Amino acid sequence: MSQIIQTQKGKKKSSFIEFLKKECVLVIAVTLAILSSFISIPKLSYIDFKVLILLFNLMVVVTAFKELKVLDSIAIGLLKKCNTYTSISLALVFITFISSMIVTNDVALITFVPLSIVIARKANINVLKIEAKIFIIHNRINKVYAVDYIIERFNIKKLITSGDTEVDREFTSRGITILPKHSSFKHEKSIITEKSKIHATEEILDYIEEIIV
């Protein structure tokens, strides 16, 4: 019974440590916020509820537009005028650029990110959402073409690849693959680091040095 309790405690401890490593920015921010509260006592007046309510209302409106297919109508209208991937990209950039002059960046972000996703899906463009980043990639664009060209052009016999997002999945299947622990995909014979995020960089370099030597 005592061994089971110790095992459970060990699992909780390891999961807590993993959480600290994964959410280090959040932990640091919360720690600094707590420490700063001892210097200056936080007050309710510090929170601008008016701005928060306005942003919440904007998110509700955008969600309603999405449910009512208003964004789909805008996307279809834009795609009728823009026939190429380049023209679609330029249109989105131009619209966001102009709107950012009128509204704040966060408002433009909340408004145009859902529209960009809808347009990408209508245009059969891959949209990969990874944490806070959004990749809009045309189906014809693939890193594996560049990797295959380099292999053939320079007659490479030993190739080492690494990546962590879905856009890296196909080209990392070539040669020896080293993937960080946080990678969104895995290959059958790939080497996986014990560390994640930026801490995996040195481990990857050590693996490369071992393979080369």
pTM above 0.85, yes or no: no
Q: Is the pLDDT of residue 28 over 80?
A: yes
Cβ–Cβ contacts within 10 Å for residue 123, how many?
Answer: 19
User: Which residue, among 185, 78, 61, 170, has the nearest Cα to 123 in the 3D structure?
Assistant: 78
Q: Which of 19-23, 52-56, 117-121 has the lowest mean pLDDT?
A: 19-23
Residue 175 has pLDDT above 80, yes or no: yes
pLDDT of the residue at 19: 76
* H-run or E-run covering 136: strand 133-137
- Please give the Cα distance from 123 to 76 (Å, whole number): 9
pLDDT of 179 reads 94
Report the distance separating Cα 35 and Cα 29, nearest Å.
10
Instruction: Say which residues have a Cβ less than 8 Å from residue 65's Cβ, sequence separation at least 6.
Output: 71
Q: Return the structure tokens found at 106.
A: 């966060």
Q: How far apart are CA 202 and CA 161, in angstroms?
A: 15
Single out the residue of 195, 205, 210, 213 nearest to residue 24, CA to CA: 195
Mean pLDDT, to the nearest integer, of 166-173?
Answer: 86
Which pLDDT band, with edges at 50, 70 and 90, does 130 fall under?
A: very low
Checking if the pLDDT of 140 tops 50, the result is yes
For the chain, what is the mean pLDDT?
80
Distance CA 1, CA 155 (A): 61
Q: Which helix (H) or strand (E) holds 20?
A: helix 2-22
Whats the size of the chain, residue-wise? 213
Q: For 149-153, what is the mean pLDDT?
A: 87
Q: Which two tokens stand for residue 102?
A: 């009128």
Q: Is the model's pLDDT at 12 over the cut of 70?
A: no
Angle between helices 70-81 and 85-102 (to 10 degrees): 120
Task: Note the pLDDT tens digit of each residue in 46-102.
Answer: 778 888 888 888 888 888 888 888 888 888 888 788 877 778 878 888 888 888 777
Q: What pLDDT, on the 0 to 100 scale, is given for residue 128? A: 57
CA 196 to CA 182: how far, in whole Å?
5
Single-letter code of the amino acid located at 6: Q
